[in-house]
Amino acid sequence: MRVSLRKSLVLAATATLATSLVVVATSTANAAAKLDNPYAGAQVYVNPDWSAQAAASGGQAIANQPTAIWLDRIAAIESGSAGSNTMGLRDHLDAAVEQGANLIQVVIYNLPGRDCAALASNGELAPTDLAKYENDYIDPIVEIMGDAAYANLRIVTIVEIDSLPNLVTNVSPRETATPECDAMKANGNYVQGVGYALAQLGALPNVYNYIDIGHHGWLGWDDNFDAAGDVFLQAANANGATPADVHGFAANVANYGILDEAYFDANTAVGGRPVRESTEWVDWNRYVGELEYAQAYRDHLAGIGFDSGLGMIIDTSRNGWGGPDRPTRASTSTDPNTFVNESRLDRRIHLGNWCNQAGAGIGERPKASPATGIDAYAWIKPPGESDGASREIPNDEGKGFDRMCDPTYTGNPRNNNNMSGALNDAPLSGHWFQAQFEELLANAYPPL
């Protein structure tokens, strides 16, 4: 029987007055029980599938780090997600209890018409499959997470990577629009789907919802930043959700944005002007790193109607940018573009590049409360799992071939027509990519 908690509360409440009084009393107690920062003092679950793969692949130094579980299709709820992941949600929750962990990180990632601006992680659900998303994906997850056996686990959910930001930057009349994102904006199913997920998951006393907010190289420009904030708020008020269902937001998930540029920020003056006005890398972005971006977004979101106690998560699994090419001092150039290009730690060809980036390294190790407003640095994208195949690979996972994963691709408006910077010979998204894993280890920063 797939009855979500919210629905069952309604059923209980209509049964007898006495029952409904009890329900009200417990839900108030439960609401009070949510922690300000679930990561504080937590022991975070280590995924045995990923851990074994990492240890067997030369990654003994990091194999005991916690990584998130991705529920990237309906079947993943029962039997594991892409690649070498074999455990279903219940298996992971049981293993977490057994491990003595009290926090597990789960990525909710299966919206209708998923990945509307790219092809590498197109999902299984058609743009109109909202009911299927609700009934066959979210409801069963809620039912499992709501099992009393897991009541002592803090369950952190990262809600729907890339979807809401796509509704802002990749829709008409922008040059970066795709017909697929236009369709998802028009049919409302991203907003409705996220709203449903927030409402149903947020009703569980031990679930902490964090909505994906892309990264500074995507929403860091003022027009994107404010407009996306409004869409997050819209989703948090859709389909039964309220902003109280949102515990926080997650930045840089599966991306490569540096945490903090050591040698400049957007206001650093070079040649008499702030580098924010330089045309190549910063290009009027207000942020040059994920930490300042996440902190500023927190303030902004609290100001437009979200809870003032919001906490942020930053995915630091692959944003280390260490290794021999890492600059060790600020450039002395007085040309802003040259200065930035010689000083920046993030060595991507373009900030819009996102697939299996050459030169990337493991970033900060997972850590609770690392900075003001930040609940955790966390490894949401498991290091070693591909972002997408570098050529067409037939598959039954709904995954397409995105040329941004092809090192010979010369780009599109979303990366200002630059080379993709992707590593060659990559497998499907979510599948193990040994060559990338080795590079991530070699370029880790802080070094391993």
Instruction: With CB under 6 A as the rule, give the number of residues binding ligand BGC.
Output: 11
* Identity of the residue numbered 356: N
281 is in an annotated binding site: no
Among 137, 406, 430, 443, binds ligand BGC (CB under 6 A): 430
Give the Å distances, CA to CA, from 107 to 7, 19, 160, 242, 299.
Answer: 23, 34, 7, 20, 24
Given the residues 49, 129, 139, 162, the one annotated as active site: 162
For ligand BGC, the closer CB: 375 or 385: 385
- Min dist CB 392 to ligand BGC, Å, is 16
What string marks each residue from 323 to 342 as x (binds ligand BGC by CB under 6 A) or -? --------------------
Task: Work out which of 37, 67, 121, 390 binds ligand BGC, going by CB under 6 A.
Answer: 121
For residue 375, state whether it binds ligand BGC (rule: CB under 6 A).
no
Classify 229 as helix, strand or coil: helix
Report the Cα 436 to chain-centroid distance in Å: 20
Cα–Cα distance between 425 and 438 in angstroms, integer? Answer: 14
82 binds ligand BGC (CB under 6 A): yes
Shortest CB 429 distance to ligand BGC, Å:
4
Q: Which of 44, 16, 6, 2 is nearest to 198 (CA)?
A: 6
Q: Closest residue (Cβ) to ligand BGC?
A: 430
Among 322, 359, 382, 427, binds ligand BGC (CB under 6 A): 382
Residues 6+ apart with CB under 8 A from 424: 390, 407
Computed on alpha carbons and rounded to an integer, the radius of gyration of the chain in Å comes to 21
Judged by CB under 6 A, which stretch of 218-226, 283-291, 317-325, 377-385 contacts ligand BGC? 377-385
The two structure tokens encoding residue 273: 């002007």
Q: 70 among the known binding-site residues?
A: yes
| In the complex, least distance from residue 48 CB atom to ligand BGC, rounded to whole angstroms | 16
Q: Is 397 annotated as a binding residue?
A: no
Which contiguous run of DSSP H or E holds residue 338?
helix 336-343
> Of the listed pieces 91-99, 279-287, 326-334, 381-389, which binds ligand BGC according to CB under 6 A?
381-389
Query: In the annotation, is 406 catalytic?
Result: no
Identify whether 387 is a catalytic site residue.
Answer: yes
CB of 382 to ligand BGC, least distance (A): 6
Confirm or reject binding of residue 72 to ligand BGC (CB under 6 A): yes
Structure-token match 């108030």, residue found: 28
> Is 245 part of any known ligand binding site?
no
Minimum CB separation of residue 381 from ligand BGC in Å reads 6
Run of H or E residues at 104: strand 103-108
Q: Min. distance of Cβ 330 from ligand BGC in angstroms?
A: 35
Return the SS3 of 374. strand
**381 labeled part of a ligand binding site:** yes
Strand (E) or helix (H) holding 269: strand 269-270
Output 4 or 81, the one with its CB closest to ligand BGC.
81
CA distance 207 to 212: 16
Assess 180 for contact with ligand BGC (CB under 6 A). Answer: no
Q: Which two tokens stand for residue 245?
A: 């269902």
CA nearest to 246, candidates 328, 304, 187 = 304
Pairwise CA distance, residues 448 & 433, whole Å:
20
Site for ligand BGC in 247-306 (CB under 6 A): none
Whole-Å CA distances, 65 to 101, 108, 384: 12, 21, 13
214 binds ligand BGC per the rule CB under 6 A: no
Question: What phi, psi does 410 have (nearest 5°)?
Answer: -100, 10
Is residue 84 within the footprint of ligand BGC (CB under 6 A)?
A: no
d(CA 258, CA 348): 10
Q: Helix (H, G, I), strand (E, B), or coil: what is residue 87?
A: coil
Binding-site residues: 70, 72, 215, 218, 255, 354, 381, 385
Residues at the contact surface with ligand BGC, assessed by CB under 6 A: 70, 72, 81-82, 121, 381-382, 385, 387, 429-430
Enumerate the known binding-site residues for substrate: 70, 72, 215, 218, 255, 354, 381, 385
Enumerate the active-site residues: 115, 162, 387
